[in-house]
Amino acid sequence: MHFSSSLVGVFSLLCSQAVAIPDLKARDLNSFVTGERTIALQGALNNIGPHGSQVAGAGNFVIASPSTENPNYFYTWTRDSALTMKMIIDEFIFGNTKLQPYIEEYIHAQAILQTVSNPSGTFLPNGLGLGEPKYQPDGTRFNGAWGRPQRDGPALRAIALITYSNWLIENGQSTKARTVIWPIISNDLSYVGQYWNQTGFDLWEEVLGSSFFTIQNQHRSLVQGTQLAKDLRVTCTGCDQAPEILCFLQSFWNGKYIVSNINVNNGRTGLDGNSILGAIATFDIDAYCDSPTFQPCNNKMLSNFRYLMDSFRETYSINAGIPEGQGVAVGRYSEDVYQGGNPWYLITTAAAEYLYDAVAQWKARHNLVVDADSLPFFQDLYPSVTIRQYNSGNANSPFSQIINAVTSYADSFVAIAQKYTPANGSLAEQFNRDTGVPLSARDLTWSYAAFVTLAQRRAGQYPTTWGTRQAASPPATCSGTSTTGVYAPATAAGAPNVTSTCQVNIVFNVNATTYFGENIYVIGNTDDLGAWDINNAVPLGAGGYTSQRPLWSVSTYLNAGETASYKYVRQENCNQPYIYETLNRTLTIPTCGSAPITVEDAWVGAVGTAGSC
Binding residues: 146
Q: How far is the CB of 390 from ligand NAG (least distance, A)?
A: 35
Give the per-residue SS3 of 503-518.
EEEEEEEEECCCCCCC
Please report which helix (H) or strand (E) contains residue 354, including its range: helix 345-365
Does the footprint of ligand NAG cover residue 584 (CB under 6 A)?
yes
Compute the least distance from the CB of residue 246 to ligand NAG, in Å: 10
Q: Does 350 bind ligand NAG (CB under 6 A)?
A: no
Q: Compare residues 14 and 560 and give the one whose CB is closer to ligand NAG.
A: 14
Binding part of the chain for ligand NAG, among 62-70, 221-229, 587-595, 598-606 by CB under 6 A, reads 598-606
The residue from 104, 205, 240, 286 that is catalytic is 205
Indicate which single residue of 501, 565, 573, 576 sits in contact with ligand NAG (rule: CB under 6 A): 565
Residue closer to ligand NAG by CB (options 307, 552) is: 552
Residue 14 touches ligand NAG, criterion: CB under 6 A: yes
The yes or no reply on residue 546 touching ligand NAG (CB under 6 A) is no
Distance CA(75)–CA(142), nearest Å, equals 9
3-class DSSP state of 208: strand
Pair 520, 540: CB distance under 8 Å: yes
Asked if 197 is part of the footprint of ligand NAG (rule: CB under 6 A), the reply reads yes
Instruction: Reply yes or no on whether 202 is catalytic.
Output: yes
Q: Between the CA atoms of 299, 304, 306 and 310, what dihedral angle is there, to the nearest 10 degrees?
A: 170
- What's the min distance (Å) between Cβ of 549 and ligand NAG? 4
Please state the closest distance from residue 481 (CB atom) to ligand NAG, in A. Answer: 8
Nearer to ligand NAG, 394 or 582 (CB): 582
Q: What is the DSSP letter of 206?
A: -
Give how far Cα 358 sits from Cα of 361, 418, 447, 506, Å: 5, 22, 21, 51
> Is residue 488 near ligand NAG by the rule CB under 6 A?
no
Number of shown-chain residues binding ligand NAG (CB under 6 A): 28
C-beta of residue 81 within 8 angstroms of C-beta of residue 444: no
Is residue 23 involved in binding ligand NAG (CB under 6 A)? Answer: no
CB of 112: closest distance to ligand NAG in angstroms?
Answer: 14
Kindly report the backbone phi and psi dihedral angles of residue 35, in degrees, each rounded to the nearest multiple of 5, phi listed first.
-65, -45
**Is 25 among the residues that bind ligand NAG (CB under 6 A)?**
no
- The yes or no reply on residue 339 touching ligand NAG (CB under 6 A) is no
- Which range in 196-204, 290-298, 570-578, 590-598 contacts ligand NAG by CB under 6 A? 196-204
Active site residue: 91, 152, 202, 272, which one?
Answer: 202
Candidates 470, 600, 606, 607; binder of ligand NAG (CB under 6 A) is 600
Among 235, 396, 473, 499, binds ligand NAG (CB under 6 A): 499
| Binding to ligand NAG in span 403-442, by CB under 6 A | 422, 424, 426, 438
Tell me the DSSP string of 77-94.
EHHHHHHHHHHHHHHHHT
Q: Exposed/middle/buried for 408, CB within 10 Å: 0-12, 13-18, 19+?
A: middle
Burial 444-483 (b: 16+ CB within 10 A, else e): bbbbbbbbbbbbbbbeeebbeebbbeebeebeeebeebeb
Amino acid at 212: F
Work out whether 602 is an interface residue with ligand NAG (CB under 6 A).
yes
Residues 6+ apart with CB under 8 A from 153: 77, 78, 79, 82, 130, 131, 132, 133
Please state the closest distance from residue 214 (CB atom) to ligand NAG, in A: 10
Type of residue at 94 = F
CA separation for the pair 186, 486 (Å, rounded):
8
Residue partners of 145: CB distance under 8 A and separation at least 6: 539, 541
Is 511 one of the binding residues for ligand NAG (CB under 6 A)?
yes
The DSSP element (H or E) to which 313 belongs, if any, is helix 299-313
Is position 601 an interface residue for ligand NAG (rule: CB under 6 A)? yes
Among 16, 21, 157, 5, which Cα is nearest to 77's? 157
Q: Is 578 in the site for ligand NAG (CB under 6 A)?
A: no
The residues that are catalytic are: 202, 205
For ligand NAG, the binding residues (CB under 6 A) are 14, 197-199, 210, 247-248, 263, 422, 424, 426, 438, 478-480, 491, 497, 499, 511, 525, 532, 549, 565, 580, 584, 600-602
